[in-house]
Each structure stands twice: as C-alpha cells, then as structure tokens.
Amino acid sequence: MPNGAGGGGGGLVGASNSFTGVAQALEIMGDHIYGYSGPVESPVNTETDLINHKTGSFYCTLKVSFSNAEINVTANNIINRIRLNDALIWQQQIDHSLVQYETVEFLNIVVPPYTTLRITAEDKNGSTEQLVIAAGRIYRG
C-alpha cells in the first residue's frame, strides 16, 4: 500500500483503518466523529466549503481548528465561518498582515441531530489554501 494511504485496505491510521482521506464529510467511528478537509483553495472573495456534513439521529460535540496550508501568509485577510443549517453561529476575521501564525483557534461546538454543519473560509484579498480539522464525540439517545 502506498505511504499515507488509508481506508478499507489498511494502513497506519488507527486500529480500524477507517480514515478515508481528506473530505468535506465527517467520518464516524463508533462514538467518535472526525474530519480533515485537507488544503482547499480559497479564491479571493469566495466563501469556500471546508466541511459540509449533515448529522444523523445523534448530536455531537466537536473541537474545531483552522489553519493555513501555506507557510508564509503575510498579507491575507481570512474569514472563517461556522454555520448550522445555514445560520451563522461563529465568524472570525484574521488579518495576517498584523499577526502571522498557522493555527487560528480551537473552538468547541455542539451540533444537534439532523443538522447541516458547514465550515467555510474566505480570503478577502488573495487566494490561499485553507484547512480545518474537527474531532469529537457522538451522543446517541
């Protein structure tokens, strides 16, 4: 198997080898839920989906972390957003001309059952690759 490959064929990721790679949907394994968008090109002034996932008959708690996929982002103005069923619940604008760092912030959120979680990035003055990592627990009734 090629290095870094995952999914049903086995590999180095976890005991169940369930990681299928980068995706907009979240992966579910037992009572755990996680996702990695991978680097996603965020064209100038275009809100771009990093994660777009609809939950099932469970609610979940997630820890979310945003990052730039590029090392030297010095002048970009990035807006990260989280929506539940298209309602904006969180937004943060980072001006990289003032502060330069890779990881923006960790957020703890609760996602109700049968809810569409949409995590996006928008670059206001350039075109950069953004990514998000989310991991948490599922609670079933």
Q: Nearest CA to 82 among 120, 137, 130? A: 120
Residue 129 confidence (pLDDT): 85
Domain tally for the chain?
1
Instruction: Assess contact for 121 and 69: CB atoms under 8 A.
Output: no
**Host domain of residue 81:** 24-140
Residue 9 confidence (pLDDT): 35
CA distance from start to end of the chain:
39
Q: The CATH number of the domain where 60 resides is what?
A: 2.60.120.680
Is 79 within the bounds of a domain?
A: yes
Q: Is 85 left (phi over 0), alpha (psi -120 to 50) or beta?
A: left
Is 7 within the bounds of a domain?
A: no
Whole-prediction pTM: 0.79
Is 40 within the bounds of a domain?
A: yes
Kindly give the parts of the chain with pLDDT less than 70: 1-21, 71-75, 96-105
